Amino acid sequence: MTHFGSLRMEKVSRSFGRFRALRELDLEIEGGEFIALLGPSGCGKSTALNCLAGLLPLTGGAITVDGERIDNVPPERRGFGMVFQNYALFPHLSVHDNVAFGLKMARVPKAERNLRVAQALALVHLAEHARKRPGQLSGGQQQRVAIARAVVLEPRLVLMDEPLSNLDAALRLEMRTEIRRLHQRLGLTTVYVTHDQEEALSLADRLVVLRDGTTQQIGTPEEVYGSPANRYVAGFMGYRNMLDVTVTTGAGAGGDGGRTRVDLADGRLAGTRRDGAPDAGDAVAAVRPEDLDVAAAAGAADSGTDGLDFAVPATVEVVEYHGRELAVQGRLSDGQRVHFRTRTRLAPDDAVELTAPPERVLVFPREEAGAPDPPPRRPAAGETPDPKASEAVAP
């Protein structure tokens, strides 16, 4: 297997006319790593992948493999494999011939070719479908043919462009595991593009979060999930509540690290200050719905917040039943919406007190240079309790 030590992308940029799809991406990929490029559509992640593949020429920057420039090498000579979103199988060739195509191009002798195709198809559990045409296969099977076609050449880098987005939810989970298994077994360096944060977190060794063509954060899943670099990354990582707050330093749980106290809507919370957050004044507190706990329910509202040091009063507006728990939308006294999860029975118009662990309340500066609102997450990912969320409320 041909491995490289490291692949460097230095200030890689790509514009389409005036539109700058990708701005100065710096990334170093170690041999064997699994990297996920994450962001909503239009963030430049697919542009980055196509630049890496050579399907799009760069408008700036350089790509080197072990010190050797490759950004002016045509895609067919880079020795990378690629899996496309819509599979892009050759419709006129059988499954076997699809997988064999690259080997044929590389002039691999027939006997070896057949052996390697058979191995690759066995790897993706498709040995018995070798004679079929792609049109006769299901979506998941087609995707596995595409993966086999990409890995049969044992490329030094595998590029995957949203390979699971055309599959239904159940199949997506199954294929996710499959891709992880293949990566562990073959150890192929992989760059994986997705808009699904769950997919990125569960597959990748490191994540690159992109937005409007600029890199927001590069880090391990734990880093990106636990300590997002900014409001935007936080929003993308499931911090659905972005509450306008006022920072009041010195008070509250102060002392260690970036702990601070924030006031909002007749209440207060203890939080952790992130980069650029002010010592005092207006800021934004990002909290995941599953990190907000209901401290006191109905009746407690009369007594205000006197009973608790750090709590925010809210009124329940909409309650959705989600099986093990309820997803609740409430409103703070100053009109801000707040989302939380609870196992307490609640009904609309109930008054509640909300609390959250200080390390799960992230305080960001209110204004970020030209920052639009965080992108809406896919409803399926946002509304179904993800594993981490259910753990939080499990008995």
Partner 1 sequence: MAGTTGNVDTRDPLAPDGAAAGPHGGEEPARRRRFGRPVTWVTVLVFGLFFVNLAGVIGVPLVDSFGSRWFTTWLPEGWTTKWYGEAWDEFALGQVFWATALVSLLVVLLSVAIGVPAAYALARRSFPGKKLVLLLFLLPILAPPMTYGIPLATVLYKFHLAGSFTGVVLANLVPSVPFVVLTMTPFIEQIDPRIEAAARMCGAKTTAIFLRILAPLLVPGILAASVLVLVRTVGMFELTFLTAGPESQTLVVALYYAMFSAGIRTQQSIDAMAVMYMFSMLVLLVIALRFVNPTQLVTRVKEEQTEK
Partner 2 sequence: MSADAREGRPALRHRLAERGVDRTTMLVLPGVAFLLVLFCYPFVYGLQLSFQPAEGGGPFANYRTFFEDPYLRETIWLTLRLAVPAALINCLAAVPVAFRTRGVFRGRRLVMTLLVMPITLGTVLTAQGLLGYLGANGWFNKILTGIGIIDQPLGLVHNYWGVLASLVISGFPFSYLLTLSYLTGIDPSLERAAATLGASRRQRFRHVLLPLLAPGLAITFCLSFVLAFAVFPSAQLVGDPRGSTHVISIEAYEAAFQQFDYPMGSAIAMIMAAVMLVVVALVLTWRSLLYRGATGGKG
Residues at the site binding partner 2, with contacts judged by CB under 8 A? 15-17, 54-55, 57-62, 71-75
- Cβ closer to partner 2: 16 or 90? 16
- Cβ closer to partner 2: 73 or 253? 73
Task: Tell me how far, at minimum, the Cβ of 105 lies from partner 2, in Å.
Answer: 16
Using DSSP, state whether 225 is helix, strand or coil.
helix
Q: Residues in contact with partner 1, total (CB under 8 A)?
A: 27
Q: Rule CB under 8 A: is residue 193 a binding residue for partner 1?
A: no
- Cβ closer to partner 2: 15 or 246? 15
Q: Rule CB under 8 A: is residue 75 a binding residue for partner 1?
A: yes
Q: How far apart are CA 329 and CA 316, in angstroms?
A: 6
> Considering only residues 121-150, where is the footprint of partner 1 by CB under 8 A?
146, 149-150
Task: Tell me how far, at minimum, the Cβ of 23 lies from partner 2, in Å.
Answer: 15
Q: Rule CB under 8 A: is residue 101 a binding residue for partner 1?
A: yes
Instruction: Choose from partner 2, partner 1, none: what does 73 bind? Cβ within 5-8 Å by kind.
Output: partner 2
DSSP string, 77-121: GTTEEEE-TT----TTS-HHHHHHHHHHHTT--HHHHHHHHHHHH
Instruction: Choose from partner 1, partner 2, none: what does 16 bind? Cβ within 5-8 Å by kind.
Output: partner 2
CA distances in angstroms from 25 to 212, 213, 271, 372, listed in the order given: 12, 8, 32, 21
Q: Rule CB under 8 A: is residue 313 a binding residue for partner 1?
A: no
Task: Tell me how far, at minimum, the Cβ of 105 lies from partner 1, in Å.
Answer: 4
Using DSSP, state whether 358 is helix, strand or coil.
helix
Q: How far apart are CA 27 and CA 9, in angstroms?
A: 5
- Cβ closer to partner 1: 108 or 308? 108
Structure tokens at 216: 């927001």
Q: Rule CB under 8 A: is residue 110 a binding residue for partner 1?
A: no
Q: Rule CB under 8 A: is residue 82 a binding residue for partner 1?
A: yes
Residue 149 exposed, middle or buried by CB count within 10 Å (0-12, 13-18, 19+) = buried
Task: Tell me how far, at minimum, the Cβ of 56 lies from partner 1, in Å.
Answer: 10
Q: What is the CA radius of gyration of the chain?
A: 25
* Residues 6+ away with beta carbon under 8 Å from 330: 314, 315, 316, 317, 337, 338, 339, 340, 352, 354
Structure tokens at 203: 């597959």
Structure tokens at 185: 């077994």
Binding site residues, partner 1, CB under 8 A: 53, 55, 74-77, 79-82, 84-86, 88-92, 101-102, 105-106, 146, 149-150, 153, 159
